[in-house]
């Protein structure tokens, strides 16, 4: 059923956002290089938490079909691993939200919420792309 799948996808993203918020906090603590990126990782953590709360607001209006496979947190990664893993996760989030966006009419509240989250995820991805380009992860 299409509706059930949509709600499941949003629920899955809700958990991914919570997970991302916690993981970014761990990563910010573990990141030993560039101070600006250390701060940026913490900022991402706060923004992922806000995304989770936005999705929570949306999910409040739907029945729950929770079906989530828990990921495990990474505590031991070095700076380069932190940046590359987060870059991949941001790309996954962008792909998921882009697909979800397509399912809702442009004038709907759900569309606007997902669109604003997507904008943040693109910025998050760009932070890592720029950082990798700068070569600062190797210092
Ligand atoms: Fe997010
Ligand atoms: Fe993000």
Say what the pTM is.
0.87
> What's the chain's length in residues?
139
Mean pLDDT of the chain: 92
The helix-helix angle for 35-59 and 79-101 (nearest 10°) equals 30
CATH class of 2-66+77-138: mainly alpha
Q: Measuring CA to CA, which residue among 127, 105, 138 is closest to residue 47? A: 127
- Is there a contact between 40 and 127 (Cβ–Cβ < 8 Å)? yes
How remote is the CA of residue 76 from the centroid of ligand 2, in Å?
Answer: 21
What are the boundaries of each domain within the chain? 2-66+77-138
Whole-number Å distance between alpha carbons of 130 and 139:
15
How remote is the CA of residue 25 from the centroid of ligand 1, in Å?
Answer: 13
What does DSSP assign to residue 86?
Answer: H
- What pLDDT sits at residue 67? 65
Q: What is the pLDDT of residues 41-70, one digit of tens each?
A: 999 999 999 999 999 999 888 887 776 666
Residue 25 has pLDDT above 80, yes or no: yes
How remote is the CA of residue 46 from the centroid of ligand 2, in Å?
Answer: 10
């Amino acid at each position: 059923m299409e509706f059930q799948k949509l709600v499941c996808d949003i629920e899955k993203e809700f958990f991914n956002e919570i997970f991302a918020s916690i993981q970014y906090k761990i990563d910010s603590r573990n990141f030993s290089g560039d101070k600006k990126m250390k701060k940026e990782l913490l900022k991402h953590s706060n923004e992922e938490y806000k995304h989770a709360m936005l999705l929570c607001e949306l999910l409040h209006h739907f029945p729950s079909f929770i079906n989530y496979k828990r990921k495990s947190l990474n505590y031991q990664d070095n700076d380069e691993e932190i940046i590359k893993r987060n870059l991949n996760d941001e790309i996954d989030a962008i792909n998921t939200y882009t697909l979800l966006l397509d399912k809702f009419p442009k004038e709907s509240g759900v569309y606007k919420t997902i669109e604003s989250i997507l904008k943040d995820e693109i910025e998050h991805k760009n932070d890592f792309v720029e950082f990798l380009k700068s070569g600062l992860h190797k210092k």
